[in-house]
Amino acid sequence: MGCAGRDPPHGEGPLSDRERALDHPTRPGKPAADVGGCAIGILARAPIAGRAKTRLIPRLGAVGAARFQEASLQDADRLVSIVGVPGILFLSPLSARSRIRPLRLALPIAGQGGGSLGTRMVAALERLLRLPEIDRALVIGTDSPDLPVRLLRDAVQALREHPAVLVPAADGGYVAFGVHGAHARSGELRRVLRPVPWSSPHTCERTAEALRAGGLEPLLLETWFDIDEPSDLDALRARLARSAHDRNPDEVAPHTAAFLREWQAPPDPDALSG
């Protein structure tokens, strides 16, 4: 997420009735007492062929890359529900929301607005903090479909004692970023993050430095993995295979795992002609 590029502007609009009515949903049998008062936003690009996960197109094809994004969206949506907190899916472009309606996602949908990743991320945090009874907020992306439930829960819980939390990504960005509401509501976060480069292998490092300089000492949790390049798919397959033995497979990216099992990329025309 921390190394993503710039998207065109799309309006957010006022909070919907559904967003205003959000409570703290819990997974059946899973108490949410340890995560109360927090909300999670998902920053995601719409799964449009040729525009989604473009660096995976050489391996998956344009349609396959879009289908991979669909599966990642479903797993991110499911992850938030399992953690047991309210949330919002921030979609870019918002005009493509009809494309994801068949996915039957649980979260309400809003636009991301315009500007850099940092601008959109802070706007999402501010909006989450306007939900009833919310004083902490996190944002995640869809580039880490196998993000462990326990790691996201750790991030949520960390905000009880820390003003900010980061889950670094192996590529130098980050998988999750969260703040305590007192800092985001005041506009302080926008000022603190202004110098951070948002398309850089040093984004997480620079974000942590900026937060410290602004008096918001962040807690850095375990590093996780983004899926950006074709080689990342191979590493993801290996992690999912291990997860089937190490953890409850029902909680490890089931939609993405199903996609990787079933998808057949179209044949390479150059290879056929040779």
What does the pLDDT read at residue 188?
86
107, two tokens: 């979260």
Pick the closest to residue 237 from 34, 99, 68, 102 (CA basis).
Answer: 68
What does the pLDDT read at residue 245?
66
| Mean pLDDT across 226-249 | 87
Q: Cα(80)–Cα(88) distance, rounded to whole angstroms?
A: 9
pLDDT at 84 over 90: yes
* Summary mean pLDDT of the chain: 86
Write phi, then psi, for 126 (nearest 5 degrees). -60, -40
Residues 134-170: pLDDT tens digits?
999 999 999 999 999 999 999 999 999 999 999 999 9
Q: What is the separation of C-alpha 204 from the centre of its chain, rounded to a whole number of angstroms?
A: 15
Residue indicated by tokens 């493509």 = 96
pLDDT at 20 over 70: no
The CA distances from residue 89 to 35, 48, 77, 93, 201, in Å, are 19, 16, 8, 12, 25
What does the pLDDT read at residue 14?
47
| Mean pLDDT across 175-185 | 89
pTM of the model: 0.86
Q: Provide the 10 A C-beta neighbour count for residue 130.
A: 14
pLDDT at 185 over 80: no
Residue 19 — pLDDT band, cuts 50, 70, 90?
very low
Containing H/E element for 189?
helix 188-193
Q: Cα(234)–Cα(240) distance, rounded to whole angstroms?
A: 10
Q: Which of 63-67, 183-187, 206-210, 236-240 has the lowest mean pLDDT?
A: 183-187
- What letter represents residue 9's amino acid? P
| Mean pLDDT across 32-52 | 90
CB 178 within 8 A of CB 138: yes
Domains, the chain, ranges and CATH? 33-257 (3.90.550.10)
CB 173 within 8 A of CB 203: yes
